[in-house]
Structure 1
Amino acid sequence: MTTLIPCIIAGGSGTRLWPVSREAMPKPFMRLPDGESLLQKTFTRASQLPGVDRVLTVTNREVFFRTLDDYRQLNDREASLDFILEPAGRNTAPAIASAALHAAKHYGASAQLLVLPADHLIRDIDAFQAAVSAARKKADEGWLVTFGLVPQTPETGFGYIERGADLGDGSYQVAQFREKPDQATAQAYLDSGDYLWNAGMFCMRVDVLLRELEKHAPDVLLAATTCLQVSDTKQGNRELQVELDSSTFALAPDISIDYALLERSDKVAVIPCQMGWSDIGSWQAVRELTPADAQGNQCNGETVLHDVSNCYIDSPRRLVGAVGVDNLVVIDTPDALLIADGSRTQDVKLLAQQLKRQGHDAFRLHRTVTRPWGTYTILEEGKRFKIKRIVVKPGGTLSLQMHHHRSEHWIVVSGMARVTNGDNEFLLDTNESTFIKQGHVHRLVNSGVIDLVMIEVQSGEYLGEDDIVRFTDIYGRAPAAVESDKSKV
């Protein structure tokens, strides 16, 4: 059989799972009760498919290093990693078209793409592998194959696939894709037995996919082709990165693969399957992963409850007390608290959307923010000051940078730091500190083998994260012109 390339599509912000899921730390990175993220679970089941030695991921440039960290914790089989890094989301059609062109160039037109969303949970791995095997056979016959989940309830939050002609091997030609229905329509779909949930997973030969895109969505294919021709590629250490050019990628149509191609093509087949699937699309879906106590409560963290029933409480850092409530969802994070009626968890996205319209940081960032070199946590802030706890991983290096509007005071809590401060470079040991004046070029490096932990005190008229001029950066975040200019200094 031809080469199989699992293609993990990691996009979206997971607004229905706010305040844990945020734009800069979206749903795929959300930890489940067993400690693994949805992204890690997707990577594991993709990399463990028979014959797979390479996994392709299409994701946003801003979460690349966090994605890499998640993968490296699990990559026991040392699968090679390909990344297509988007400067901004343009929906699934441009992402999948780019993946198909990439696979055709590097692995041949007969290779198969297995497209997997990064934020779904599948419990029955044997059933998943059997469905993939069946889909691969169908894809080699020239079909664009989708996976249809046998519905268990009249779900209004999912799209549906209507089965058409029986293709004689357990698969069906797709008659129609249906939008998310109302309750009565969803019940009619369930009763008929002819409808399946649309899981957003696909298996396709690259040459067939490109041919169908050329026929039904030539604008998408042209945009992806043009973008890849001018995009930068980096290769090494069993990793291949393609960083999509921002100006040409912005011209790609913002459209899903369903609308762009699958609803138009007559070469789409569906394989019905049951694999313990969940899209973890709401807090109600999350709570179903945890067993309830005798009162129907599910709690993560320390709680004290009186006359409380059917509640889901997730507060790993703070004690929660509750009296006389029923069917509530309570999600506590260091900077935001969600309290929702348990029957209305789908509406949480409305809060996230409102925060985004207001430009509130709680839509985009957590108090602890991940960076390529480690993390920082905002401990306190006020007028003209901000205090951060900075953790730099072994080998981590902050960019050589400068601030126009603030000074900084660094205190080492543990580990040893190699510091550039103006014209001076020196080591800072535990309990030592340095003051960095406004306008001074500076850098922080952890050359040791343990985490470097520091407290940073900022002071100045403006303390926004955008007051950073990067001169050089090992993670590619400094503008090329600035890198070039600084190299002459």
Structure 2
Amino acid sequence: MSDIHPLILCGGSGTRLWPLSRAHQPKQFQPINGEGSLTFFQSTVQRHRSDLFSDPIVCVGSRHVQTVGRQLREIQSKAHIITEPVARNTGPAVLAASLYLAGAKPDAVLVVLPSDHVIKGELNRLIAQMHDAALDGLVVTFGIQPSYAEKGYGYIMDGGRFDQYPGLHRVESFIEKPSTTIAQSLIDTGFAYWASGISMFRASKLISEYQRHDPATFAHVQAALQSASPLETEAGLLLDERHFMKAENQPTEKAVFERCKDIALAPAAIEWDDVGGWTSLHAIGMKNESGNVTSGDVVLFDTRGSLIRGGERLVAVVGMNDVVVVDTDDALLVTNKSSAQDVKRIVEHLVTLKRREAENHRSQVTEWGRIKSMQAGPGFAMDLLSIDSGKTVTLVGEEGVSRTLAVIHGRLQLVGDHTQSELTPGLSAMVAIGKEARLVNTADTPAEVIEISCGNASALGLSGQSLAAIAADVRAADYA
């Protein structure tokens, strides 16, 4: 059974969960139940850690490789990371993982898992039950009994039971995101299931289906894997962009499943939600006697049926029903639940305005600690760097930009070109224009330092981008 390999897909931007989810820190890497809880991605990894499964394979865009590595280490999980240089939807990513695995284990079975869903129930028991069918060459899709007519989901129509595989059904057809009226008519038949995005198959089966239905994409992804390079800081590889970008930009369902004769449906009696917006988080959250779901520092009075998510400050809500209030360190969202799906319009507007809040949080977790943007403008940026014990921050040299560092807590070593000095609270140092330096925390406690970057606007960017933020991989290739 350990030849079942979880394949966790980490694409997507989750714009409907703004301001929690942003382009550089999307939904799957955010905590489900507030600060200190597991992220959606970590919860997915933990759900499938047992003797039933091998170490997971994680497919992620190059922008988020460091985040994946850090969050895996936080839960002490090993994984094989396949990095996509550009986004090409789920199909090429799943094919790349299948090729990667089939080289050593042709009969190994993959179970494909979106990283941003919330699931409760015995999914793993059903996966184990479907193992023989997958080994025999069936492509198993997992369907959810629909509880309402959702027009944003795909539907799988039940084509009747398999005699030789208990619990497994044939697929009559796939229906992609029907209107609400049609969705209700499908549900009324009693044979419709929501498509969960979870599937299971032998690696060699997925490869053969791609060779049959899209040989060009197969060739491009195979070449991208053959020319892949090892990751510098994580266990895994980076697919070759020249070849991967030529793959057809399609989900696995359209590229393979809808064309496959050996497709099957496993109805899953589980609680499932793809958390497509704030109303979903309210629906799955732990409610108090007034139907409210809260996290953080929150005080409510005469408020019912609401989701209130606090941040660093107190959030007080009085006399409101069915609202969503989400507070972060640099943005506050207030909406009624009926309009919560329109949050993506706010994000689209912020993008047109080139607002930083569409892309980044003011605070960013890094491999070495945390960066918090204090103030920024044309030609300057001031940031608070919190550096964990034993960690090193590399401040990348940038033409036309100088930096001043002032320690406010802890003890740091500043290492530059043939120089080294100790910085303690009250002391400051300057890093000359274009020079690289390293801040090393050799103490047993975290250190905090103010970094002030000054230079021409073109060097720093219109918003005054932090040089430490650049070192934290903010300049990595775009992936959405």
TM-score (norm 1): 0.89
Q: 1:201-350 counterparts in 2 under 5 A?
A: 201-233=198-230, 240-303=235-298, 305=300, 307-350=302-345
Which range moved further: 254-263 or 217-226? Answer: 217-226
Which residue number corresponds to residue 66 of structure 1? Answer: 67
Distance in 1, matches of 2:476 and 2:204, equals: 37
SS of structure 2 residue aligned to 1:54: coil
Distance in 1, matches of 2:293 and 2:80, equals: 39
Which residue number corresponds to residue 388 of structure 2? Answer: 393
Name the CA shift for 1:235/1:352 in 2 (closer, same or farther; >3 Å): closer
Give 5+ residue unaligned stretches, structure 1.
480-489
**C-alpha distance after superposition, 1:284-329 (max 9, x if no partner):** 0111233444444333344455554333221222333444433221
Q: 1:12-411 counterparts in 2 under 5 A?
A: 12-33=12-33, 35-48=37-50, 50-75=51-76, 80-105=78-103, 107-124=104-121, 127-168=122-163, 169-233=166-230, 240-303=235-298, 305=300, 307-399=302-394, 401-411=396-406
Instruction: From 428, 433, 437, give the equivalent of 1:438.
Output: 433
SS of structure 2 residue aligned to 1:188: helix
- The one-letter amino acid paired with 1:62 is R
Contact 1:403 1:469 in 2 (8 A): no
Contact 2:453 2:467 in 1 (8 A): no
Contact 2:63 2:476 in 1 (8 A): no
User: How much has 1:141 moved relative to structure 2?
Assistant: 1.4
Distance in 2, matches of 1:323 and 1:438, equals: 52
Contact 1:330 1:337 in 2 (8 A): yes
Contact 2:393 2:438 in 1 (8 A): yes
SS of structure 1 residue aligned to 2:124: helix
Task: Tell me how large the CA RMSD over aligned residues is.
Answer: 2.7
User: How much has 1:44 moved relative to structure 2?
Assistant: 0.6
Distance in 1, matches of 2:238 and 2:179, equals: 40
User: How much has 1:205 moved relative to structure 2?
Assistant: 0.4
**C-alpha distance after superposition, 1:254-290 (max 9, x if no partner):** 1111111111111111100112211111100111233
Which residue number corresponds to residue 416 of structure 2? Answer: 421
Contact 1:58 1:85 in 2 (8 A): yes
Name the CA shift for 1:39/1:101 in 2 (closer, same or farther; >3 Å): same
Contact 1:402 1:469 in 2 (8 A): no
| Bigger relative CO (Cα 8 Å, ≥ 6 apart) | 2
SS of structure 2 residue aligned to 1:317: coil
Give 5+ residue unaligned stretches, structure 2.
none
Contact 2:382 2:466 in 1 (8 A): no
Which residue number corresponds to residue 6 of structure 2? Answer: 6
User: How much has 1:173 moved relative to structure 2?
Assistant: 1.7
Which range moved further: 201-210 or 65-74? Answer: 65-74
**C-alpha distance after superposition, 1:98-120 (max 9, x if no partner):** 00010012x31111111111111
SS of structure 1 residue aligned to 2:80: strand
SS of structure 2 residue aligned to 1:6: strand
Name the CA shift for 1:42/1:434 in 2 (closer, same or farther; >3 Å): same
User: How much has 1:475 moved relative to structure 2?
Assistant: 8.8
Name the CA shift for 1:474/1:376 in 2 (closer, same or farther; >3 Å): closer
Distance in 2, matches of 1:300 and 1:80, equals: 30
Name the CA shift for 1:212/1:312 in 2 (closer, same or farther; >3 Å): same
Distance in 1, matches of 2:429 and 2:271, equals: 54
Distance in 1, matches of 2:385 and 2:466, equals: 17
Contact 1:2 1:110 in 2 (8 A): no
**C-alpha distance after superposition, 1:48-83 (max 9, x if no partner):** 2x34242110011222222122222223xxx54200
SS of structure 2 residue aligned to 1:133: helix
Name the CA shift for 1:474/1:380 in 2 (closer, same or farther; >3 Å): closer
User: How much has 1:425 moved relative to structure 2?
Assistant: 2.0
User: How much has 1:356 moved relative to structure 2?
Assistant: 2.6
Name the CA shift for 1:274/1:301 in 2 (closer, same or farther; >3 Å): same
How many residues matched? 469
Distance in 2, matches of 1:474 and 1:21, equals: 18
Contact 1:401 1:470 in 2 (8 A): no
Name the CA shift for 1:448/1:62 in 2 (closer, same or farther; >3 Å): farther
Contact 1:90 1:255 in 2 (8 A): yes
Name the CA shift for 1:44/1:321 in 2 (closer, same or farther; >3 Å): closer
